Amino acid sequence: MIKLIDVKKKFRAAGLENVSFELPHHGLCILYGKSGSGKTTILNLLASLDKPDDGEVIMDDYTVTYMMQTDMLFHNLTVKENLLIKLNATTVPEGHFECEMLNLCVLLGIESLLDERISVISGGEKQRVAFARTLLGDFQLLLLDEPTSELDAHNKMVIMKYLKSLSQEKLVIIASHDNEIKCFADQVIIMKDGQVNE
């Protein structure tokens, strides 16, 4: 369970103002709104990368994984080397991890790229690699910042269907301005100018 109560966070140009909402233990929630509406700030608070200036963020003791808007990949390494980095941050046995990694790569259509350096693949391919790395390992809370922004229609649907399935057991929170993915959500929180637009 996640609960925000009158959360405020001020930046020079924008921030959050009296944001309150509650989410269940599992399901798919979309924080929907234009750039600068406060979506990423909420994800950063939930990931404990930032703290509110006022108000409360109440959360269960989740294991969190977070895909930020920038890919955070090592461009001098191969796709496989980037994915294997996550092995050091998980308790999943190595054999199971590598099996899970290959299954995700097949699902996302990046299995042929495993030996390619990140520096030579396309923007959409980088986003799928970042998505795969985020999903590897153990977690209960999945945070995704604009995960479909570089994807074509086919790959967008593949990823959203996978996330919908995953959300039956885990809590998935997506920050997005993509109107096409709202139909997958159990709950849509519309953000405008740092506030929940009810």
In angstroms, rounded to a whole number, what is the distance separating the alpha carbons of residues 120 and 104? 21
Q: What is the predicted pLDDT for the residue at 8? A: 97
Is the CB of residue 40 less than 8 Å from the CB of residue 62? no
Number of other CB atoms surrounding residue 185 within 10 Å: 22
Q: What is the predicted pLDDT for the residue at 175? A: 98
Locate 138 and state its tokens.
């153990």
Structure confidence by residue, pLDDT tens digits, 18-52: 999 999 999 999 999 999 999 999 999 999 999 99
Q: What is the predicted pLDDT for the residue at 92? A: 85
Structure confidence by residue, pLDDT tens digits, 147-186: 999 899 999 999 999 999 999 999 999 999 999 999 999 9
Locate 17 and state its tokens.
């103002």
Could you state, in order of their start, the residue ranges of all structural domains in the chain?
A: 1-62+140-198, 73-137
What integer is the mean pLDDT of 4-23?
93
Prediction pTM value: 0.94
What integer is the mean pLDDT of 111-138?
96
Q: What is the CATH number of domain 1-62+140-198?
A: 3.40.50.300
